[in-house]
Structure 1
Amino acid sequence: MRKVSILRSIRKIYQFFVDVPIKEGKVLNDRYEVLRVIGTGSYGIFYRCKDLKTNEIRGLKQLRPSKHHNKKEVALFENEIAVLRSTNHKNMPVLMDTFFNNAYLFYVMNFIEGDNLEDLIFLKRVSFNEKESLQLIADLLKLIDYLHSKDIYHGDLRIPNILLKDGQPFLIDFGLSKQGISMDSASSYEMKQQDHYDLGEILLYLLYTTYPSKNKKALPWTEELTIKKETVHLLKRLLQVKESYSTISEISADVQAALQADERLH
């Protein structure tokens, strides 16, 4: 364990010195001017850039310099590019360009202006009531259904990877996504179930935004949240407490049933 810890520390020190973000004002590929760093992930650095040929704002993702000698990390980055190349949805990033610069790998996408769901919940303290939470899940289901219809599984459905723009969700960060063509049926099923489970966790995050935390002792969500039985049923199946869902249409039917139950109450 001590050896593993030492190696991990050495790797972090190496990354600290090697994974230095590109400075503002730098022009890449004779076209993309770096405006600022948006964020840094486990294997990529994301920038806001200006396309000097079109004067439009773009998103640019760089494989971390410390990863470009790692075949597995390069393969993950190239897989993300392949997934984006296979999608064409207004609520998802659109791949615009790919290129190498000083042996480092980049790809360019349209820049989606929106509020990160994680920041909305934890920084801006935006709350979602039960109806709003269910409606957001219903909208997300349409995006997941689109991906699954193309045999693509996101694999990383988390609140940091969801943007809200004009009340509509946008999915970002396809770094852990998989295409069914590269998997056997068992792996595809597992990825599908992961997407379903992640939707359940997102719904919990949304529902907890209106929960007044008074208990010092943490209790199960079934005891803390006051929600309709239809929503409880939905959550238990998404989180695989009960029989898991097989299809998006099954989930959608139960989401609609929970929304209709809310309308009956009002």
Structure 2
Amino acid sequence: MIELIPGVTKEDYSDYVLYFIESLTEELKQEIRNRLVAVCHGVDQARSGRKIYSYKATVKEFIKRYKTSKNVSEERKKGMIGELLVHVILEMEGRFTTASPFFNMEERSFKKGYDVALFENKTNSLWITEVKSGEIQKGQKNASAAAIGLINTAKNDLKSRLNASNTSLWLNALNAAKVSMSDSNHQKDAVMKLLEQCADDSLEGNNSSDTFNVVLSATLFHPMSERIKATKVGQKYIRVVNENLFKKVYILIIQKETFEAVYNFLERETVDEK
């Protein structure tokens, strides 16, 4: 067990990693503050100095999206907080450069297409990420089973999308990369070329999931008194690899007790932030 920052520990097995958010410490809150604008809007926007891309405006926009109607489902709330935590953790770790913003650009609904496109800095390769978030479901006997259930859903979603001839998914990914990545980042051109090739292949019906690297991610909201077991995640990783659905697979799992604590923190920020 490694401490990433106070309040966040991880078990890293190279091909799969588990993060345990033990508490929403001041250090984690500060990481969220430092990264929120770039995560939600993109790097250049975060550096622009424009009021619309200020931390205060971004937090308020996050809250609006979270409360987009009076009857926002619990699943949407869990999904938003879960995906935000994945973005923040990925940014902290530095293995990948995020090539898609958290916010959907057109409206306050969920993004259409892939949750996150990632560029691996060491290998200059593209990774398509799907994030699933939730709590233990009826019939799931423990936290490990619940986490593996979320990973399975992510796997099936990507299998379906990456084998489909749906050019709009790749056009959305291209637009997202244009917004998210800095124009001064030399990696942006490489990402755009990779995504354009994916779009061309999709148009011609040549896309196949086994040509893509994927990150299958799950955020499980469950008491820390029962932790997800790395051995179970490792077994799931081997099963997914043996299905030969994807070129490479990386599994990222986060466990946190509740999703409300992160939202409550952000909501307080709209009042406290001057």
User: TM-score, normalising length from structure 1?
Assistant: 0.30
Flag the structure with more relative contact order, 1 or 2, with Cα contacts below 8 A and sequence separation at least 6.
2
Q: Which has the larger radius of gyration?
A: 1
What TM-score, normalized to structure 2? 0.29
